[in-house]
Structure 1
Amino acid sequence: MTRSLLGSRLVEVGDGSLAGITAVDAATEVAPQAAGLTAHAVDSIWSSVEALYRTGAYPAVTFCLRRRGEIVLNRSIGYAQGGGPGESRGPHARLAEPDTPVCLFSASKAITAMLVHKLAEEGGIDLDDRVSRYLPEFTGGGKDRTTIAQVLSHQGGFPMFHVNAADKGPETLLDWDRCIELICAAPAEKGGKRLAYHAITGGFILAEVIQRVTGMAFTDYLDTRFRQPLNMRYFTFGLESSSRARAARNYIAGQPVRFPISLLAKQALSADFAEVVDVSNRDYFMDAVVPAGNLYATAEELSRFYQMMLDGGVYEGRQIMAPATIRRAIKPAVRLRYDHTLKIPMRYSEGMMLGVNPFGLYGPMTGNAYGHLGFMNILGWADPDRDIAASLMVTGKAILGGHLLALGQLLSTLSWQCRG
């Protein structure tokens, strides 16, 4: 067992083979019984996290699990920097910690979506209105009839950028005004009818609606509605320079990404797989605001957000969102059907990826769970049937490999041990 002291008490965790690279925020974790679990259940879940790390796909893993509102696991394994595939662990190697900020990539979409729902709650917009009511230029290629609700549920008809040679490359994604211009001019693809995951495009339009209606910067709206009320340290799109030394570095991992998967990934991400990973580690990416893809948070912060949703919008006695707002946000908007971007069956609400029975994104029999996936295998979700709010942060970007089996095992263990 690894003995780790972080916070106020000494605890024993994990397998001795991971000694020295496991950290526990003992100040936040409660005894399993306080959350209605056995010690065996918590040990089983953590052992599954360790097994996921041992696949070698993730240089760093941070994990936070709340049950019945109590934190039972808030831990990290591995290296935030200097422990990537083929990388020597020299003097600049840095261990991950439970409070290491990690880029959520597409798991950021859930936060942007809930900000849109918050604006609707405040009376600023009607989700069933056309986007063009708020962005008059959003009419190109037949998009004038597209509603905000359709954008939220990935039925907006503009899942990918249509760019010329001058706009190719990931740097374009960091130019907000150019992205809005390109999206507004792009042709629609069966808007309102065709399900196709909007990997990058939808986030810009939703955030621009917030800015136009409120007159506030998108980041200021996030700060005043969620970040400050939830007492977050990070939870920002982009990352201030003073915090970057603590951020986790992203790495290409797993088996090589080859055709046709490489082509599908490029279409979804609007850039080559390797380019996306490379750009995500650069200062100009952390300077930018990408509403669908660069929110930084700790595992505990993301779990805290989903706990607030699970609690009907309440955090520490304060109403952050109305219960009716959350009910609409997690209500199925799209039945399980083929997603033309992801090339798999998906089920969405207006902003969330939903669980599926008998087995879905969040494990077996999680049909009432909601949350979002991020590039690759980052997860944040709530499951009301198990009364859990969980987050899994990983820094290796691997599409194929043995990690998928270990991830499935972790989700199955979590679902089984937290049942009832």
Structure 2
Amino acid sequence: MSNDASGDPAPIPTGMGGSATAEFAPLVRAFDRTFGHRRDAGGALAVHLHGEPLVDVWTGSAGTGPWTQDTGSIIFSATKGITATVIHRLADRGLIDYAAPVAEYWPEFAANGKGKITVRQAMTHSAGLSALAPIATGLDDVLDHELMERRLAAAKPDRLRGVPAYHALTFGWLMAGLARAITGRGMAELFRTEVAEPLGVDGIHLGLPPAAAPTTYAPLAGSQLSLAGKPLGAMVLGRSHLIPGALGAATRCLFLPGLETILEGQDPPILRTELGAGNGVCTASALATMYSALANNGVVEGDTYLSPRTIKEIRRIQSYRLDSALFYAPMMWRLGYHSLPMPGARAGFGHIGLGGSFGWAEPRLGLSVGFVHNRLSAAQLSYDQSAAFWLLPRVLNCLRATRRIPVEQTREAAA
């Protein structure tokens, strides 16, 4: 890595791998302290500016060995950002119009009064199809992605149609059904042909990476969501249809009795399906590379990945309404991505997953960030989930010191 500001690389702590420019030394130290000493767990962080890697570091354990540059972890809902990018690639070629009804491309989707639901509504979690119980009875159903696509096509929208209500799992099947109707291909193949291969990266997979792939999977560390399977948790979640308000909406979109077993074991069932809403296995550097294209006018190493027209659509906030299934959080939904109402993230966009892994783009700076880790433990979930809230401000603080962009720009981004 070059470093125009100081000419020296940052010291890398013992046990940590990778490199970073000198100005990011405080971030590197903080990252190693936080993620380098967890039992059977580790993580990686990548920061790119105008496509150039300024930080690419990894630390800790990947379960059976140390974390490496090619270690990937399940990024859960951060997968949605990649799935959305696939749809934007199809739109960029004129195969999809965001304002058109989904049923124009996927005729079966018109069933039960859904004929006027648009691609834009589906991509902003406003299709009224967030609940799991109407389409799935248990784990076996959820693991059959083509069955889920067909059942969504036949489903009746609920009372939250037209209102942002996080489609925690159904988003992936909606986008996959739409893409399959147009291309005849599944979402896992489209991850490869529309994202990984055009960007020249391997570390973006839907489900378990192939045995021959450079990317290796880091098993989940921690208790996962085992509390949801305890008698009291199962009883409450099994009656989610009776829970009023935001709590009811959240449980209906996320839980089914027995679904927590999808994460159990060294080779969990979640890896054996195509869940475009939640089972991407990615490296930090690959995520940063994808979001770099979105942060830099759709251009990667001089080649156009997405046109200016599509980039303009991606960057536009589609809804300022509070999300009814995320406890009325101000997600500021874009087409498949969200923002965060916090310093350093208000004009940026990306997607955070369960446990805190995320990919992020800040177009005003040409900045992209990828962060992945493999701890998923109920006791530490609230802390891990907030990783973006301390990592992104620290990235901006270090970026000011590089003198690669005007200080005024970083101050504006941090406002």
Q: Same fold (TM over 0.5)?
A: yes
Change (3 A) 1:207 1:403: closer
Change (3 A) 1:235 1:305: same
Of residues 301-310 and 208-217 in structure 1, the stretch that sits farther from structure 2 once superposed is 208-217
Q: Does 1:411 align with 2:372?
A: no
Match of 1:73 in 2: 55
Q: Distance in 2 between matches of 1:67 and 1:273?
A: 39
Q: Distance in 1 between matches of 2:268 and 2:259?
A: 19
Q: Distance in 1 between matches of 2:93 and 2:320?
A: 28
Match of 1:370 in 2: 349
Q: Does 1:127 align with 2:121?
A: no
Counterpart of 2:120, as a letter, is A
Change (3 A) 1:143 1:230: same
Change (3 A) 1:370 1:229: same
Q: Tell me, yes or no, if the aligned pair for 1:108 and 1:291 is still in contact at 8 Å.
A: yes
Higher strand share: 1
Change (3 A) 1:136 1:64: same
The match for 2:162 among 160, 176, 193 is: 193
Q: Residues 193-212 of structure 1: CA distance to partner in whole angstroms, max 9, x if unpaired?
A: 22111111122121221121
Q: Tell me, yes or no, if the aligned pair for 2:112 and 2:154 is still in contact at 8 Å.
A: yes
Q: Residues 13-51 of structure 1: CA distance to partner in whole angstroms, max 9, x if unpaired?
A: 13xxxx33x222x4xx5xx3xxxxxx3x40111122124
Match of 1:391 in 2: 370
Match of 1:246 in 2: 216
- Number of equivalent positions: 375
Change (3 A) 1:63 1:245: closer
Counterpart of 2:89, as a letter, is K
Q: Does 1:143 align with 2:114?
A: yes
Q: Does 1:172 align with 2:141?
A: yes
Q: CA deviation at 1:138?
A: 1.6
Q: CA deviation at 1:160?
A: 1.9
Of residues 381-390 and 196-205 in structure 1, the stretch that sits farther from structure 2 once superposed is 381-390
Q: Distance in 2 between matches of 1:413 and 1:244?
A: 30
Counterpart of 1:162, as a letter, is A
Change (3 A) 1:150 1:118: same
Q: CA deviation at 1:121?
A: 1.8
Q: Tell me, yes or no, if the aligned pair for 2:168 and 2:277 is still in contact at 8 Å.
A: yes
SS of 1:138's partner is helix
Query: Gapped runs of 5+ residues in structure 1?
Result: 1-8, 33-38, 82-92
Match of 2:407 in 1: none
Q: Considering only aligned residues, what root-mean-square deviation do their CA atoms show, in Å? A: 3.0
Q: Residues 218-241 of structure 1: CA distance to partner in whole angstroms, max 9, x if unpaired?
A: 334333332212111232212213
The match for 1:50 among 32, 51, 56 is: 32
The match for 2:264 among 254, 274, 278 is: 278
Match of 2:198 in 1: 229
Q: CA deviation at 1:181?
A: 2.6
Match of 1:97 in 2: 68
Q: Tell me, yes or no, if the aligned pair for 1:339 and 1:346 is still in contact at 8 Å.
A: no
Of residues 394-403 and 318-327 in structure 1, the stretch that sits farther from structure 2 once superposed is 394-403
SS of 2:11's partner is strand
Q: Residues 236-266 of structure 1: CA distance to partner in whole angstroms, max 9, x if unpaired?
A: 2122134499211013359985778984675
Match of 1:288 in 2: 273
Q: Tell me, yes or no, if the aligned pair for 2:10 and 2:24 is still in contact at 8 Å.
A: no
SS of 2:320's partner is strand
Change (3 A) 1:298 1:404: closer
Match of 2:286 in 1: 301
TM-score (norm 1): 0.79
Match of 1:90 in 2: none
Change (3 A) 1:380 1:270: same
Q: Distance in 2 between matches of 1:52 and 1:163?
A: 41
Counterpart of 1:289, as a letter, is E
Change (3 A) 1:308 1:401: closer
Q: Distance in 2 between matches of 1:312 and 1:403?
A: 31
Match of 1:214 in 2: 183
Counterpart of 2:11, as a letter, is E
Change (3 A) 1:60 1:343: farther
Q: Tell me, yes or no, if the aligned pair for 2:71 and 2:218 is still in contact at 8 Å.
A: yes
Name the % identity.
23
TM-score (norm 2): 0.80
Q: Distance in 2 between matches of 1:175 and 1:322?
A: 34
Q: Distance in 2 between matches of 1:186 and 1:255?
A: 28
Of residues 384-393 and 182-191 in structure 1, the stretch that sits farther from structure 2 once superposed is 182-191
Q: Distance in 1 between matches of 2:119 and 2:387?
A: 37
Q: Tell me, yes or no, if the aligned pair for 1:235 and 1:301 is still in contact at 8 Å.
A: yes
SS of 1:392's partner is strand
Q: Distance in 2 between matches of 1:10 and 1:415?
A: 18
Match of 2:254 in 1: 269
Q: Tell me, yes or no, if the aligned pair for 1:162 and 1:182 is still in contact at 8 Å.
A: no
Q: Does 1:23 align with 2:9?
A: no
Counterpart of 2:140, as a letter, is E
Q: Distance in 2 between matches of 1:181 and 1:193?
A: 21
Counterpart of 1:251, as a letter, is A
Query: Gapped runs of 5+ residues in structure 2?
Result: 1-7, 238-246, 401-409, 411-415
Q: Tell me, yes or no, if the aligned pair for 2:224 and 2:264 is still in contact at 8 Å.
A: no
Counterpart of 1:136, as a letter, is P
